[in-house]
Amino acid sequence: MSRVTVVGAGVVGLSVAHELARAGHRVSVVADRAAADSVSGVAAAIWFPHDVDHSVTVLESAAVTYRRLAELAEDPRTGVSLRGGTVLSRRPGPDTSWTRAVPHTEPARPDGLPEGASGIRCTVPLVETGAYLAWLRETVTGLGVRFRAAEVTSIAELSRQDDAEALVVAAGLRSAALLGDDDVSFPIRGQVVRLANPGLTDWITDDDNPGGLTYVVPRRHDVVCGGTGNVGSWDERVDPEVEAAILERVTALVPALAGQPVLSRAAGLRPGRAGVRVEPVAGHDRPVFACYGHGGAGFTLSWGDAARVAAMLGPAGS
């Protein structure tokens, strides 16, 4: 079997490790943060290609991931379920290209929508991040994947310490610096507050809300309420004023949330880039592959892009 090291243990890195191990490679994952401590653990993790371009390649990966997550939803241990909800738009001619990756969509009934808004109803996978990331790590460990906790400061240094025959860089925001990427990569700060669930099942997203990005994503035991999209901010602290503004927007959108107790709160940095990068990277002493720049769509593109990386490497021994 060939030896492959994956840099990064978020949802993308773990998905890549899974697909490579399934293809027969001997895989190691090296990262300084566990998935739950990365932005993957902060995400509302509802399927939607957010903060990425809607290119043909991106939507193909989104469709592959949709199908895989829909299959996983049949196993309650994964923490994946299929949930109905509404994508709101408050502007004329909204981009609906993402609907090509969804089996069925329909216009939302105007009653109940904010004044002047339109909506698209659909059913998409929703990932309970705590359960899913734990299940995914347990699954890849069962496939023989090994984990090492370390900060990777350069690919050259890793190459000197590692006997892998190939490297995959899936380290989110740090990937560009590791690979000397000249394209613009940047943080997109996201903040959420998680409320007790008063019995909600449907999700709703409102990217065009006049007060800022707004979404309500009910899970089994809480409701993830957001959010923010502060491009260029490296601040991972929870801001009380931002939280108050989020709560004001979500309760206006979903009045049933008013007065619900706060269960937890978090902030994280989405790995933004001019475009998702999944390709071989020349100039190294062994094959190196990039898989990063997923913006707010790490869960949405994870399985599709992991399959693309596995196809580039081919089966073990090839």
pLDDT digits (tens, 9 = 90+) for 171-180: 999 999 999 9
272 in any annotated domain: yes
Domain-located, residue 21: yes
Which pLDDT score is estimated for 218? 98
- What 8-state DSSP symbol labels residue 232? T
* Domain CATH for 65: 3.30.9.10
Residue 38 is part of which domain span? 3-313
Does residue 229 sit within a domain? yes
Looking at the domain assignment, is residue 106 inside a domain?
yes
CA distance linking residue 17 with residue 144, whole number of Å: 10
Burial of 285 (0-12, 13-18, 19+ CB in 10 A): exposed
Alpha-carbon gap, residue 254 to 252, rounded angstroms = 6
Beta bridge partners of residue 118, listed in sequence order? 89
State yes or no: cis peptide before 227, omega within 30 of 0. yes
Determine the Cα–Cα distance for residues 59 and 61; give it in Å rounded to an integer.
Answer: 5
Round to the nearest angstrom and report the end-to-end CA distance of the chain: 9
**What is the reported pTM?**
0.95
In a domain, 8, yes or no: yes
| Number of structural domains the chain divides into | 1
Take residue 24 and report the two structure tokens written for it: 């027969």
- Judge whether 318 lies within some domain: no
Counting as low any pLDDT under 70, the low residues of the chain are 1, 318
Residue 206 lies inside a defined structural domain of this protein: yes
Looking at residue 112, the DSSP 8-state letter turns out to be T
Q: Write out the E strands in the chain.
A: 3-7, 26-31, 80-89, 105-107, 118-127, 146-149, 166-169, 185-195, 203-206, 214-218, 223-226, 230-231, 262-273, 277-281, 288-292
For residue 262, is it within any domain?
Answer: yes
pLDDT digits (tens, 9 = 90+) for 60-69: 999 999 999 9
